[in-house]
Amino acid sequence: MSPPCRTRPRNWRKASDPPEYKRKRSWQMSNLPLAGVRVIDMSWLLPGPFCTGILADLGADVVKVEPPSGDYYQDVVPGTYAVINAGKIRRRLDLKSGEGRAELSRLIAQADVLIEGFRPGVMARLGFDFPKVRAINPAIIYASISGYGQSGPLSDRPGHDVNYMAQAGALSIPDTIGKPSARGGLPVGDLSAGLYTAVNIIAALRAKAAGQAEACHIDMSITEAILHMAQVRYADYLSDTAGGRNWHHLLGGNGVFKTSDGVGLALGIVEPKFWNSFWSICGQPPGTETGLSEAERRERIEAEIAARDSAFWEERMTAADLPFTRVLDPAEALSSPLFAERGMIHQVAGPEGRKIPAVALPGKMVPAGRRDSSAF
């Protein structure tokens, strides 16, 4: 089996394609790993577009197919929509019309990958489920992202990130000693499913290029993506006896603490070697933590951190080589010299044409003999 086509058919793009797509972003060069791979993104909201955003950053050509009314995610969170869909062709098709279905069929015939994010059964009603798409393109890689998978007792149930997190048990995992578990601000389920789908697609492209497979259907459950990540916490918890289970990741010196001037400091005193350095700053003897429970250790650290301002702690902890970080807000993080020096921040067109910051794909592939990643 030959590798995915590297030459784009003339009719893959149209003269009406937006200029921001025709001008490839500066870091997308023709020798990117997925250059020439053609992807149709029929998904809405976050998981699918996040996945195809990764593929686009790796060089793939992505056509995002939307209904005539558009993806309503653009109305809810227009900045997020702009960031995860930058660099894609956006095409609105009415799949209830013969013309719209014919246009989608034309795109499918030229594509390497199709991604959809509907509940099971919707693509069949639209006339573009896996068997019918494979009849159009026998080598298609077809990825379905859904909340609970294409089969099973919950496959037809609606849901969002919070529901999938709950079903996978992730909302029961606490992050701080003595405090109940709470949902974080990041949509972990949606993002992890998008990431895992990208991994599966890249693996399928590799298998196709090696002649190991032709068409395939990737069934990605958002709940299962969360479950796979959550096992790193469940493994030790469930290895304890049922009557005495503990969350082994809850350590007194690992968390966020407030200084006297209200600044949050993230402290990572996990390894024993850091304790004596911390106590030295506090004027306490080595081994002060010995004999204390993890909850008691946290209480001691909270009291010490709260007694002095952030300038004191940042100066002393830096000198002591302790693992700490000031808690930054989004604007502070995106303007950090750390990310600027590594070329991680760029600008994309956001709502009403305003430029908004976006983050490049993490990970830099540096060819042998080079000191930077400019070749990629």
Domain ranges of the chain: 38-231, 254-326, 330-359
Share of the chain above pLDDT 90, in %: 79
| Whether the predicted model's global pTM rises above the 0.85 cut | yes
pLDDT beyond 90 at 339: yes
| 228-247 tens-digit pLDDT | 999 999 999 999 987 788 89
Q: What is the mean pLDDT of the chain?
A: 89
Q: Are 145 and 48 in contact (CB under 8 A)?
A: yes
**Nearest of 127, 169, 164, 132 to residue 145 by alpha carbon:** 164
Burial 99-132 (b: 16+ CB within 10 A, else e): ebbebbbebbebbbbbbbbbbbeebeebebbbee
Q: How far apart are CA 332 and CA 340, in angstroms?
A: 12
Grade residue 30 by pLDDT with cuts at 50, 70 and 90: low
In the DSSP assignment, the letter for residue 33 is: T
Q: Give the number of other Cβ atoms within 10 Å of residue 40's Cβ.
A: 27
Q: Are 88 and 21 in contact (CB under 8 A)?
A: yes
| CATH number corresponding to 38-231 | 3.40.50.10540
pLDDT beyond 60 at 372: no
Query: Known catalytic residues?
Result: 190
**Mean pLDDT to the nearest integer, 353-371:** 82
Grade residue 325 by pLDDT with cuts at 50, 70 and 90: very high
pLDDT beyond 90 at 28: no
**Nearest of 284, 285, 324 to residue 304 by alpha carbon:** 284
| 205-235 tens-digit pLDDT | 999 998 887 899 999 999 999 999 999 999 9
| CATH number corresponding to 254-326 | 3.30.1540.10
Q: Are 328 and 336 in contact (CB under 8 A)?
A: yes
Please tell me the predicted confidence (pLDDT) of residue 5.
Answer: 35
Grade residue 31 by pLDDT with cuts at 50, 70 and 90: confident
| 147-197 tens-digit pLDDT | 999 999 999 999 999 999 999 999 999 988 888 888 889 999 999 999 999
